[in-house]
Structures are given as C-alpha cells and as structure tokens.
Structure 1
C-alpha cells in the first residue's frame, strides 16, 4: 500500500507545471507596464500599480527611449515619416516625434509658420507644405532644422523668399506664390542648392537683386510663367539647366549666356523671341538641349553647327521660312567636330517649303525619325 502511495506522489510531481519564479513575474510586469518598482522589490504587492493601464509613467531602466513615440492626432506616423496631409489643419501640429525625417503637411489651411513649430526636429530631412495658405514664415522658423535638404512651398501666398533658409538645403520649390523679388543674400551660404523652382510668380528682371546668388552653387533653375523680358544675367555661374519658358523675352543678346559656360539644357519656349544674336550661343559650348519653340523666329538661330554636343533643338511653331544647308551641321570637311549627332530636330508648323529642303542640311542627324517636319497651317 505504501509503495502505491509513493508511486502516485511521484506521478503527481512529474505532471506539475514549472514554478513561476520572480524573473518571470518581472518580465510579465514589464510587458504590462504596471509597475515602477525595481527588480529587488518585485515580490512586494503594490495596490496602486495593479491596473492594466497605470496612471503614472512607468520606469523602464532597460529601455531609456520611448518605445511608443507620440503622433499628432489624425496623422499617420511610421518609419520616421509623419503624414498630416488633407486634414484641414490651420497650424503645424504639436507632438511631432523628434526623430522625424520627413514631414508631409500639404493640402491644409496653414497660414503661418511660427518660430517654434519645428523645435527639436534636428533630424528633419524633408518638409512638404504645398497647397496651404501660407503668407508668413517666421525668420527663425528653420533654425532648428539644420539638416533640412528638401523644402516644398509651392501653391501658397508667400511674397518673398523665407529668411534664414538651412544651409544644407538641396531643393527649394516655391512655385505658384506671390514672390515679386529675390532679395539680396536670399540664398547666402547655400553651396548645395541643386534645384530652385520659382515658376508662376510675378517676378520680373528688376526683381532679381544682383547679389541674390552671390557665392551660391545652383545647378537647376526654373523661372517659367513669370514676367521676365530678358535672360537674367545675375544667376549662378554653376548652372547646368536654365528654364525660362512662358515669359516675355523678345531677344537673345550676346551677353546673355556669358556666365553660364557649363549650361547643358536651355528652355526658352513660348516667349516672343524674334532674333538670336550671332555669337550668343557660342557662350554655352556644352549645351545638349535647346527649346525655342513657340516664338517668333524668322530663321534658324546662328551658331548651331559650332555646338559639338547639341542633340536636341526644338524650333516648331515659329516663322522660319528657309533652312540653309549649313544651318544645323558643320561643313563637310569639319564633320568630325560634331561630338554628338542630333536625336531630335523639330521644324513643324513653320512657313518653310519642306519640299525645297536639301537632304545635306541634316547630314548630322542620327536617323530620319529624328527629324520632325510638317505642314504649316495658319
């Protein structure tokens, strides 16, 4: 009988569950965040911290950072990106996580950026404020974000370039605002500004201060759909692309491109250009693409055969009546001077008699498909 009793006792002990010691209790308490006691006191009962959602901030000695960072109400936060677009916001929200890299505030009703709106966001890389109602940006608003590289302010009501822009800024888009002037030293110290988009602003030539771009490196500038009457002469000499389409430019003069020796793309489409002065294009020997469509040119611009790298030239919708045999290509004996063949020449919608064109005029064209001709219709 005793042997049977001890046998049953051993079976009962073998089937018992493992004992939940203090370590497992501490892990459970930490996951539930319902204790603020040290591990040495974990066996003590605390009636105040016994709820699933404690009323005071728990102490987590092994995790000195916030495991669950805050997110502005209505926004979506993930992977250091904060999306607050299309919420009808009238101001920049608070409680933005400090490690935010990208902030999207477009399509709201924000009228003003205040001094401390971006305080603490030292890691901010991109800020999107397109399509708001911005009229004012505090002069110190961008001081807390020295690493900001991309700033989008298009479709607002700003009347000037914001002051004290971050020196690290690589892309600034302020398209479709009310900017009438680029003030002196507006971009001071900005040596990495790759893209400046300022189209659809009421900006004329007098509105560009001669010292606005002093010491600044910019590769791409677009000032289309403005009030320019001539090619601006005070832009950065580092330009690789210059787009001045949809303005009121009437002539291209000899001095217009002297500063832009490295220019590769030039956009002058949809202006009122009647004449391109001889020698003016020689100042941009590296240019690869020129847009002169929708102007009032009466002949092919002089100097094209000397542009060794020119591949694209758009001349459609002009008043060109004649094309000479040497208007596009170097002389037959100097064909080796052309480094790149034309991949696109457009001449349609010009009053030129296409049946009189000599095939030799297009001897440096890549293929017949590269030449775009057509009937002239008034």
Structure 2
C-alpha cells in the first residue's frame, strides 16, 4: 500500500530526528546512509529528475533541511513523496512552489520564518497526508489546505484565531496539533472543528483559552488542554464525546 511504501522510505532520509508526540508519531531517522552525500551540483541520475542544489535525494525523499534556504527550491522532482525543508529561513510559501508535486505525501516546513502562505500554494498537493508547520510565524492557518490531509501540526506559531473556513472539507484529518499559540477562546469560531468527522487527537495546550472549545467532534479520543487557564467546565462542554479516553 501507499502507507507501507511511505514508511519504508523514511529511514533513507538524513534529516535530524523530527520527534512527534502523540498519535501517529512521525519522524525522520538519521541512518547514516552512504548513498545520501550532499551534492554540490544538481544531480541527474539516468533519465531521472534533477535533485535541487545542495539537497539530498533518495527513493523519492528530498531532504533540504539546515541549508539556510530563504525560499522553496525550484525544479523539485515530480515523483517526490516526502519533502523536508525544516530548519531554514523561508519566510513565504508562494503559489507555484509545489506545482508539480502531485504525489507528495508529507511536507515538513518546521522551524522556518514563514508568516505568509499563498491561498493556492497547496492546491497541487492532492495526496498530501501530513503537513508540519510548527515553529514558524503564522498568525492563521491557511485556507484551502488539501482535503487528503490526515495530520496537521502547527504548534509554536503566532496563531490567535481558528476560523471554521480553514477546516472546511478536512474530513480526513485525524491529528491536529495547535499547542503553544496565543489562541483565545473568543478566537475559536463556533463549530470550527465540526466538519472534521475523523478527528481523533487534538492538542491546544499552552495557549490563552479559558474554556473548552465547543462543537468538538464525537470521534475525538484524545483532548489535550494542559497549560491553559480553564477555570470552569460547563456541563455540556464534553457532551457527546463518548469516545474520549484522555
């Protein structure tokens, strides 16, 4: 299956460990592969696609982390399934940055300086399942995220509001991580999460919320709200959440 293939590809990538806490832990492990030496020039392997300058490409994994990049590299291999751009200096994600990556399953943009994402930047990513936007400068999550997404992690940004329009149609999302953002209870639109029919894990820890968000989907099994100033819990706050385990 695509999922099994995706898991098999991960050890080939030389990224520093990217540890995820919670459901569906997902990381890139340093296996010290000798096949992955950085290239000084774009590399053409047979008739295969070009690997971007200074990046490492192996088995449809493109690793461009820790390079001081200020923008997304051009001419990414169209068969890429995992693109790692963490620990760079990218400030903006523009329309066309991912135009040929219709097979991309995971996009790692952690620890950049991203404050702006074009409304159509993710439009070509019809198969994207995992989107990691943590440790950036986003004030809001972008609209028009791929409907194929299963996992969104955006902790440690500057997000203060969660609008219903952002999550519209994201009915495949299972994991949503929004901790360590300046989110206020008044900034969470009523019913923001209602359309997320498969949402199982949500973390809104270490924010400025003072009450449990209303309209959480009944599919939820884990709700993490630690580090907030929630002073009271209304009787109906958790009503309908019959699957909640923690």
Q: TM-score, normalised by structure 2?
A: 0.79
Checking the alignment, whether the CA contact within 8 Å between 1:185 and 1:213 is kept in structure 2 is no
Given the alignment of the two structures, is residue 116 of structure 1 paired with residue 96 of structure 2, yes or no?
yes
Q: Which residue number in structure 2 is paired with residue 258 of structure 1?
A: 239
User: Distance between the aligned counterparts of 1:236 and 1:160, measured in 2?
Assistant: 21
Shift of 1:232: 1.3
Q: Which residue number in structure 1 is paired with residue 124 of structure 2?
A: 144
Q: How many equivalent pairs are there?
A: 201
Checking the alignment, whether the CA contact within 8 Å between 1:134 and 1:156 is kept in structure 2 is yes
Shift of 1:66: 6.0
Q: Which residue number in structure 1 is paired with residue 148 of structure 2?
A: 168
Checking the alignment, whether the CA contact within 8 Å between 1:233 and 1:259 is kept in structure 2 is no
Q: Which runs of 4+ in 1 moved over 6 A?
A: none
Q: Which residue number in structure 1 is paired with residue 106 of structure 2?
A: 126
Q: Which has the higher helix share?
A: 1
Shift of 1:216: 1.5
Of 86, 89, 95, the match for 2:66: 86
Query: SS of the residue aligned with 2:220?
Result: coil
Structure (1 or 2) with the larger CA radius of gyration: 1
Shift of 1:253: 2.6
The structure-2 alpha-carbon separation of the partners of 1:94 and 1:230, relative to structure 1 and needing over 3 Å to count, comes to same
Query: SS of the residue aligned with 2:57?
Result: strand
User: Distance between the aligned counterparts of 2:46 and 2:103, measured in 1?
Assistant: 17
Of 106, 111, 116, the match for 2:86: 106
Of 222, 226, 229, the match for 1:248: 229
- String of CA shifts for 1:7-64, please: whole Å, max 9, x gaps: xxxxxxxxxxxxxxxxxxxxxxxxxxxxxxxxxxxxxxxxxxxxxxxxxxxxxxxxxx
Q: Higher RCO, 1 or 2 (CA under 8 Å, sep at least 6)?
A: 2
Q: CA RMSD in A?
A: 1.3
Q: Which residue number in structure 1 is paired with residue 205 of structure 2?
A: 224
Checking the alignment, whether the CA contact within 8 Å between 2:110 and 2:134 is kept in structure 1 is yes
Of 197, 203, 218, the match for 1:237: 218
Of 75, 99, 102, the match for 2:55: 75
Checking the alignment, whether the CA contact within 8 Å between 2:151 and 2:174 is kept in structure 1 is yes
Given the alignment of the two structures, is residue 205 of structure 1 paired with residue 178 of structure 2, yes or no?
no
The structure-2 alpha-carbon separation of the partners of 1:91 and 1:233, relative to structure 1 and needing over 3 Å to count, comes to same
Structure 2: runs of 5+ lacking an equivalent: 1-44
Checking the alignment, whether the CA contact within 8 Å between 1:176 and 1:201 is kept in structure 2 is yes
- String of CA shifts for 1:283-321, please: whole Å, max 9, x gaps: xxxxxxxxxxxxxxxxxxxxxxxxxxxxxxxxxxxxxxx
Q: TM-score, normalised by structure 1?
A: 0.52
Q: Which runs of structure 2 are paired with 1:59-70 in the superposition (5 Å)?
A: 67-70=47-50
Checking the alignment, whether the CA contact within 8 Å between 1:185 and 1:214 is kept in structure 2 is no
